[in-house]
Amino acid sequence: MALSETDVAALLHSLEVHQAELETQNQELRAGNDELRRANAELAFARDRYQALQELAPVPLVTIDRAGTILDVNRAAEALFASPRSKLIERRFAQLVADSARAALPTMLARLFAAGSGRGVELVIVPEVAVLVDGAVLPDEGPARAVLALVDVSARERLEEARRSHDRRVEQDLRLASLGVLAGGIAHDFNNLLTIVLGGADQVRRHLPDGSPLAEGLDEVRGAARRAGVLAHQLLALAGQQSMAMRDVDVGACLADFEPSIRSTARGHAVELELPRGTTWIIGDALQLRTLILNLVANAADAMADRPGALVISVRATTLDAEALAAMPYAGAASAGPCVLLEVRDSGEGMTAAALARIFEPYFSTRALGRGLGLAVVQGIVRGHGGALAVESAVGRGAAIRVYLPAIVAPVAKVAPPVVEPVPRPRPTRTVLIVDDDLPVQRVIARIVRGLGFDVWTAASGEEALEVFSASYTQIHLVLMDFTMPGMNGGEAAAELRRVRSDVPIVLVTGYGDLPADLSQRFNATLIKPFDVDSVRAVLEQVLPLR
């Protein structure tokens, strides 16, 4: 059947409409394809950006599935676990957690996947690194995945421990300072009392015949007073208040000189001395170093008791670094740098950590009864020398106590000028001004000085001494000056006396030890409390020799 022109026109129109619709659909399809390509490109960019950010993130990131299997890690995680990605992927995260924290891991992961996120969970991973874990479940289709961020808090804990250690050391220093004030005050008053006892007993003893029934008792009193004087000086050493005659000292040479005393103090134990090949110079007080060494030896001998082995004492030059200094139980005001190391090692029973924390306490001992101030005195002497102390010990392995003292360059030897002995001449009558605010002590000194053939004037304060001296300075040949007095102390009074007459000999009377270096220009000698008649005579002959 032939189509009419009308039917053909309608059919052509219909084809045109369908062609137009098809073209529109093609355009929409092309636009959709373009959008899909853009979406895919953005997705690829986002994925690449995520991968790049994950790789560059300084925080270790671990991606896991619900079972705890590792799917991915970043570089920081590789560094944390010290293992490459290829050896971490497909492992169970639980294998990287320390045994002590592994039991709690399943509960932590279950809560994380149930809640979608979790924060602030502390774990310990191998090898013993504390981490703080934050987690988030990824919003992906398909199997659930979570990213764990592991923040290493070991450094923070180390800083916290360092802060706690610093606080403990500050507390210890404050406690020692308080103890030092108490010990110094007691020792000063104690020395004054002992001066009266020893000086009076010595004068009485000199007037008794050897066969007197009272002589033996007085000799015991004198001996007890001298031993009490040693204890008073130990208190001052404990407090770090004892004045010291600081000069160039070779510690190795001191150790060799003290060897007989060391072997005697070791009470029958074998002693091995490891002396340095070169010199080991410090600025120190040789007598105080002797006390330090003998106290360390006595402590080691006590620790060894009947155990076999040798007591080893060594001296060597070394360098103390800041890290080692910070870890020491007592560092005081010590500084890192060249030093002389004095070490005493024993083969005793050793100490627990609790005992180590207390060994510098006065009268503390790991045995039934403490023996005295030994190691507390050692600490005071080390403090006075600007040094540091370290102790190493374990139960059954003995102990080593190390003393670090600031080293100096070996001094250049000085050639002493020849000494010309003066021709002895009869000594004329001379006048001594005795200055002491403690009147009983003043009277004891006055009786001793008069007994030695001197005239005596007295003053009870620095101000009174200056008044007496200013009025009669030509008649006074020597001044015995106590240091610790209210108002103007002995150092200040000596300076004022020298302004009146610069050449007057002034002797420091003190219980704090030898002549301090900063007072060397004010005093000619030192008379250390408690003293006897012979000590006073020796000082007077030193300052006012026969001529």
Angstrom distance (rounded) from CA 240 to CA 513: 11
Q: What is the pLDDT of residue 244?
A: 57
pLDDT grade for 519, boundaries at 50, 70 and 90: low
pLDDT score for 342: 93
For residues 226-255, average pLDDT: 70
**AA letter at 413:** A
Least trusted range by pLDDT, from 233-242, 297-306, 481-490: 233-242
pLDDT of residue 542: 86
Looking at the predicted structure, is the pLDDT value of residue 270 above 70?
yes
3-state secondary structure of 454: coil
Q: Which residues face 124 on adjacent strands?
A: 130
Which is nearest to 452 in space by CA: 493, 480, 484?
Answer: 480
Output the six-digit token pair for 477.
């040949």
- Would you mind telling me the total number of residues written for the chain in this entry? 547
CA dist 422 and 433 (Å) reads 26
- Specify the pLDDT at position 314: 92
**Strand duo 478-482 + 431-435: pairing:** parallel
Q: Please state, in angstroms and as integers, the Cα–Cα distance from residue 231 to each residue in 238, 373, 408, 497, following that order.
A: 10, 9, 31, 33
Buried b (16+ CB within 10 A) or exposed e, 399-411: bbbbbbbbbeeee
pLDDT at 370: 46
What is the pLDDT at residue 369? 46
More confident residue, 251 or 285: 251
Q: What is the pLDDT of residues 450-470, one digit of tens each?
A: 888 899 999 999 999 999 998
Do residues 308 and 347 touch, judged by C-beta distance below 8 A? Answer: yes
Please report the pLDDT score of residue 546 as a whole number: 46
Predicted local confidence at residue 487, as pLDDT: 87
Could you list the beta-strand ranges (E) of 116-163: 117-125, 129-137, 145-152
Q: Is the pLDDT of residue 26 over 50?
A: yes
Which band of pLDDT confidence, cut at 50, 70 and 90, is reported for residue 52?
low
Could you give the maximum distance between any two Cα atoms of the chain, in Å? Answer: 174
Question: 3-class DSSP state for residue 187?
Answer: helix
Question: Domains, the chain, ranges and CATH?
Answer: 56-152 (3.30.450.20), 163-239 (1.10.287.130), 247-406 (3.30.565.10), 431-543 (3.40.50.2300)
Looking at residue 425, its pLDDT comes to 47
Give the DSSP per-residue string, 227-260. Answer: HHHHHHHHHHHHHT--B---EEEEHHHHHHHTHH
* Cβ-contact 467, 453 below 8 angstroms: no
| Residue-wise DSSP of 23-70 | HHHHHHHHHHHHHHHHHHHHHHHHHHHHHHHHHH-SS-EEEEETT-BE
**Close Cβ partners of 262 (under 8 Å, ≥ 6 residues apart):** 255, 271, 273, 293, 294, 297, 313
Does position 240 have pLDDT exceeding 70, yes or no? Answer: no
Return the pLDDT at 341.
92
426 pLDDT band, cuts 50/70/90, is: very low
Q: What percent of the chain has pLDDT over 90?
A: 8
The tens digit of pLDDT for each residue in 142-164 reads: 678 888 888 777 767 667 776 77
**Which tens digit of pLDDT belongs to each residue from 156-188?**
766 777 677 667 766 766 666 666 666 666 666
In the predicted structure, residue 526 carries a pLDDT above the cut 90? no
